[in-house]
Every structure is written in C-alpha cells, then in structure tokens.
Structure 1
Amino acid sequence: MANFSELFVAIAADPWQEVVDFYRGLLDDEPLSYSQNRYAEFQIKGLKLGIFKPSPQHQAEFVGNAGALSFCLEVDDLAQAIATVRALGGTMNGEISTASHGRECYAYDPAKNRLILHQSNKTKPNP
C-alpha cells in the first residue's frame, strides 16, 4: 500500500494571474510558493490550494465547467464573504439557502471554479 504524506487541491486557471489575485484577496494572504505566470500555492489551516497555468499542450484537458468539484469555504460572516468575492471579480449564483447546518450560497472565481460559501449556525455574524 502507498504511503501518502499530504493531500492538496490544485486547480488549472486561465486567466492565471486574475485567479491568483482573487484567492490572494479572498484568503487575505500571500502565496507560500509563487512562480511568475505559472504556479502559486496558498495554505489555510492544513489545506494547500495550488493554482497552476496548464502548459499549452495540456490546456484542452482543463476546459469546461467545474463539474462536481466545489471548494467549500467556512466563513464567519456570509454577507461579508459575498461582498469580498464580488469585489475581487468573482460572481454569485442564486440565493442564499438556509439548512439545518447553516446558510450557504454558490460563488465562482474568475476561472469559473465553484465555491460554496458556508456560515455555520454555530458562527455568529459580526453586527
């Protein structure tokens, strides 16, 4: 059996710099690793998010919608997170829904990767 030491998420992005800047603003942090116009890596509480620009011979493999994959981001204040996404050039899809576990909505980064912004019932919004 293989011994895996780490798991992280990587997304292909074109426009690459726009997506990197989006996550830089959304996460309010600088990349841990950065290679100009090629790769940026962020870390948030144990999860790494790598953003890479596909090489020209592989770009066709990464064209299309996010499909079944979503990034779920737990937030303290859903309204503030929505405002941040919009201010950074992201888009929203639909209304805020309320479920037994809290409130959430769908958003998209500039490369159209789906984000689920979730505010738990246990988290209280700032007044």
Structure 2
Amino acid sequence: MTDAFVTLGVADFPKVIDFYSQFLNQEPQRYVPNVYGEFRFPGGLRLGIFQPKVQHSSEFSNSDRSGMSLCLEVEDLESAIAHLAALGYPPPGEITTASHGREIYAYDPAGNRLILHQSVSSSDKLT
C-alpha cells in the first residue's frame, strides 16, 4: 500500500463540491467537473468526492445514513457550527461533551456524517 484517503460517492456532485469548497474555505486541489474533486488537509489526509458511474448509482442513493463519519478537528466549535449554519446545513443536534473534548454531528448535502470535534487542552480538562 502506498497511500490511503477518504472518498465520498455522491449523486449531486456539484452541490457537494460547492459545500466542501465553502466549508473548508478552499477549492479542490484536483478537479474534473462532474467526475472527481479532491481536498487536502494538514497532515496529508485527502478527501475525494466523486460522481458514481450510472451502473453504480444505486449503491450511493440509499436514503439511510452511512456508517462512515468524517471527523474534523476544529479550533472553535461554535464558529464551525455558525459557518455550517450560514451554508444552510446547521447541525441538527446539540454539542456533546466527553473526556476527550466537545463535538457535534452535522451532515453534508449528500447526508454524509461530519463530526466536528474540539479537543480539550491540558489546562481545560473536563470532569
């Protein structure tokens, strides 16, 4: 194996590419219209978004939520929530708190789960 990255197959490719471009404040690093877009994160993680081929579209059109989650570490959870809300995708639930930090679930236009996570600094340990 030489590399690994996360990919999302989506039916509404332009809408999901636009969402991640706005949410991540970056354009895709690699982009083929209506086929593939790729975003890069610090540390080397890549997020590929692709339009499934017609013969595979039924695999990606399930209305149930996927078991896959894209966990994104943020510095300021409230700002990230406000940013998502401004894009028209406010998280439907509440912030939860655990020993490792605070997080909230949100969803992209294709229904893929995002976990926005803010770690606890050593000076702010939760009890």
TM-score (norm. length: structure 1): 0.89
Once superposed, which parts of structure 1, at least 4 consecutive aligned residues long, lie more than 6 Å away?
Answer: none
1:60 matched to 2:58: yes
The amino acid that maps onto 1:17 is P
Matching residue of 2:48: 50
CA–CA separation in structure 1 for the residues paired with 2:88 and 2:54:
25
1:36 matched to 2:42: no
| 1:1-127 mapped onto 2 (5 Å cutoff) | 4-45=1-42, 46-64=44-62, 65-122=64-121
CA–CA separation in structure 1 for the residues paired with 2:31 and 2:49:
10
Task: Indicate the SS of the match to 1:93.
Answer: coil
What displacement does 1:67 show? Answer: 2.6
Higher helix share: 2
CA 1:84–1:15 in 2, change beyond 3 Å: closer, same or farther? Answer: same
Q: How large is the RMSD of aligned CA atoms in angstroms?
A: 1.6
Single out whichever of 61-70 and 97-106 deviates more from structure 2. Answer: 61-70
- Does the aligned pair in 1 maintain the 2:38–2:46 contact within 8 Å? yes
The amino acid that maps onto 2:113 is R
Higher strand share: 1
TM-score (norm. length: structure 2): 0.89
How many percent identity over aligned positions? Answer: 51
Task: Indicate the SS of the match to 1:29.
Answer: coil
The amino acid that maps onto 2:111 is K
- Does the aligned pair in 2 maintain the 1:91–1:109 contact within 8 Å? no
Gap regions ≥5 residues in structure 1: none
CA–CA separation in structure 2 for the residues paired with 1:123 and 1:51:
35
